Amino acid sequence: MTLEQEIKKRRTFGIIAHPDAGKTTLTEKLLLFGGAIQTAGAVKSNKIDMGTRSDWMDIEKQRGISVATSVMGFEYKDLKINILDTPGHEDFAEDTYRTLTAVDSVIMVIDCVKGVEQQTEKLMAVCRMRNTPVICFINKLDREGRDAFDLLDEIEEKLGIKVRPMSWPIGMGKSLRGVYNMYENNLNLYEPNKTKKVTDVVEIKGINDPEIEKHLPESAVATLREEVELVNGVYDELDVDAYKNGDVAPVFFGSAVNNFGIRELLDCFIDLAPAPKARETEERKIEPTESKFTGFIFKIHANMDPKHRNRIAFARVCSGRFLRGSNYFHVRQNKNFRFSNATAFMAQQKETIDEAFPGDIVGLYDTGNLKIGDTLTEGEKGLYKGIPSFSPELFKEVTNLDAMKSKQLEKGLDQLMDEGVAQLFTYEMGSRKVVGTVGALQFEVLQHRLLNEYNAKARFDSVNIYKACWISAADSDKLDAFVKDKYRHIAKDKEGKLVFMAESKAWLQMVQENFPDIDFHYISEF
């Protein structure tokens, strides 16, 4: 097969959702349809049970599960589908953000009872930054959910994206009778079925086809026709380019746990969702069809074996053909590396692979040379646009508790930051080190891993910081003056970028008003 054909057959995407909306269930059903697994229950949720106090063991369990399900590849209708898993727990949101840099599109799961939830909004904001195409799956139709039109309005309002229903629910909850699949013009009648594939549908010739009346009671038919007329009046026909641009989201309705509405979603997805596209780098645009390999690291999984400090770096192939055992150029370190034991991920198994193509994810065993955002090429020095960091939510100051082990602490912090466990900010004044995380769990991870893997004892004390804001200014003299004025609150991130550590919201606002020439960013890429 030519490189071009290999690229065309790949669909690499992520499933995102607020915890509990049904991401794990949907993933499992997609794998069932793809024939990658045979029975339900095979995909383990990567959730941490917050009902009981989460301790290290929970995190370890989570990590074990999530490496197995980090990438799930399977073949469906001659296509190679790669699903990238995103952690459901919001403390690991940063991981999700990074994973989204490696996908070509996403499916967003929304619970029809709860509607758009907080985490969904945050995730959508990340998709919007990259114009990632989004398909919505409104799940749990077997429950008494909210009115379908209300849900669509909420998606448009809260997620800032236009929608186009591709299927329409016939009833909901106890009165759920099926969905009308507008995309393929058929009816999928509902029977609860948790394990079998339900593929029988009633083909119809449009919404006025009398065939519909043979399968549904009169009142349901009347409501369906009325609602579909309204849908077609309110929402424009699907504009595929607008979808690919991230401006409009096709919407499907179904019930993942009942295996209902999944086939329609998958079939439409493979039709619409983009194959790997060109990627912008700092130097130039890289087309997937270029013969030379390029790729970047978006995730690192460490501690695979506690006795060895080995880790798996997940690389997304962006162009060319990745060949196991070849030498590739590590742009940041300016030297060549050979990756002799690259792995691929099929459903839940890892296997050694000889080659991979744009859209594929390869697992590279690493002993500490790779970090998130790194680029590999066949010699070209052009860098991929880095992976942005967001301002953390929680901040703690690190104190070394064992003066003899300061080197170990430094190395440990350095490597854990490379893995993206947390972010380190070093103050200009006094070299104070402050670690920022999205959630409290990461501090437990840090403390435990520093001690167990690096033999470094550290204490994390709360500090009064509200946000870390990356700063810039059109006029560099003004930036210098600001840094001088606020030197007590200026730190550098791991890349050496200047960050203003704001103590409170009100104070940040005041500083912004007093220094109108300084730009404050909540994200490291601007």
Instruction: Please report the beta strands in 85-147, taking only residues with DSSP state E, as ranges in sequence order.
Output: 105-111, 134-139
- By CB under 6 A, residue 108 contacts ligand G4P: no
**How many residues of this chain interact with ligand G4P, rule: CB under 6 A?**
19
Candidate residues 45, 348, 369, 447; the one interacting with ligand G4P per rule CB under 6 A: 45
- Considering only CA atoms, which of 468, 470, 375, 367 is closest in space to residue 415? 367
The piece of 166-174, 201-209, 250-258, 269-277 that touches ligand G4P (CB under 6 A) is 250-258
- Considering only CA atoms, which of 460, 458, 454, 444 is closest in space to residue 403? 458
- How are beta strands 178-181 and 167-170 bridged, if at all? antiparallel
Provide the minimum distance between the beta carbon of 330 and ligand G4P in the complex, in angstroms, as a whole number: 35
- Number of C-beta neighbours around residue 452 at 10 A: 13
Candidate residues 88, 171, 358, 359; the one interacting with ligand G4P per rule CB under 6 A: 88
Contact 198, 191 (CB under 8 A): yes
Query: 127-146 burial, b for 16+ CB within 10 Å, e for fewer?
Result: beeeebbbbbbbbbbbeebe
Query: 23-44 burial, b for 16+ CB within 10 Å, e for fewer?
Result: bbbbbbbbbbbbebbeebeebb
Applying the rule CB under 6 A, the residues between 459 and 498 that interact with ligand G4P are: none
- How are beta strands 105-111 and 10-17 bridged, if at all? parallel
| Cα 144 versus chain centre, distance | 29
Separation in Å, CA 341 to CA 25, 300, 320, 379? 32, 16, 19, 20
Applying the rule CB under 6 A, the residues between 135 and 194 that interact with ligand G4P are: 139-140, 142-143
Candidate residues 181, 258, 343, 415; the one interacting with ligand G4P per rule CB under 6 A: 258
Choose between 20 and 290: whose C-beta lies nearer to ligand G4P: 20
Choose between 169 and 320: whose C-beta lies nearer to ligand G4P: 169
The piece of 20-28, 30-38, 315-323, 493-501 that touches ligand G4P (CB under 6 A) is 20-28
Applying the rule CB under 6 A, the residues between 302 and 341 that interact with ligand G4P are: none
Provide the minimum distance between the beta carbon of 426 and ligand G4P in the complex, in angstroms, as a whole number: 36
Provide the minimum distance between the beta carbon of 44 and ligand G4P in the complex, in angstroms, as a whole number: 10
Provide the minimum distance between the beta carbon of 10 and ligand G4P in the complex, in angstroms, as a whole number: 24
Provide the minimum distance between the beta carbon of 77 and ligand G4P in the complex, in angstroms, as a whole number: 24
Return d(Cα 139, Cα 249) in angstroms, integer: 15
Choose between 17 and 93: whose C-beta lies nearer to ligand G4P: 17
Choose between 111 and 360: whose C-beta lies nearer to ligand G4P: 111
Judging by beta carbons within 10 Å of its beta carbon (0-12, 13-18, 19+), is residue 491 exposed, middle or buried?
buried
- How are beta strands 322-323 and 355-356 bridged, if at all? antiparallel
Choose between 119 and 437: whose C-beta lies nearer to ligand G4P: 119
- By CB under 6 A, residue 17 contacts ligand G4P: yes
- Number of C-beta neighbours around residue 158 at 10 A: 15
- By CB under 6 A, residue 119 contacts ligand G4P: no
Contact 41, 134 (CB under 8 A): no
Instruction: Please report the beta strands in 92-159, taking only residues with DSSP state E, as ranges in sequence order.
Output: 105-111, 134-139
Choose between 48 and 342: whose C-beta lies nearer to ligand G4P: 48
> Would you give the DSSP letter of residue 383?
P
- Residue 199-238 contact track with ligand G4P, rule CB under 6 A, x = bound: ----------------------------------------
- By CB under 6 A, residue 106 contacts ligand G4P: no
Candidate residues 257, 275, 300, 434; the one interacting with ligand G4P per rule CB under 6 A: 257
Return d(Cα 58, Cα 49) in angstroms, integer: 8
- By CB under 6 A, residue 23 contacts ligand G4P: yes
Provide the minimum distance between the beta carbon of 132 and ligand G4P in the complex, in angstroms, as a whole number: 19
Candidate residues 16, 256, 302, 372; the one interacting with ligand G4P per rule CB under 6 A: 256
Q: Which residues bind ligand G4P (CB under 6 A)?
A: 17, 19-25, 45, 47, 88, 139-140, 142-143, 255-258
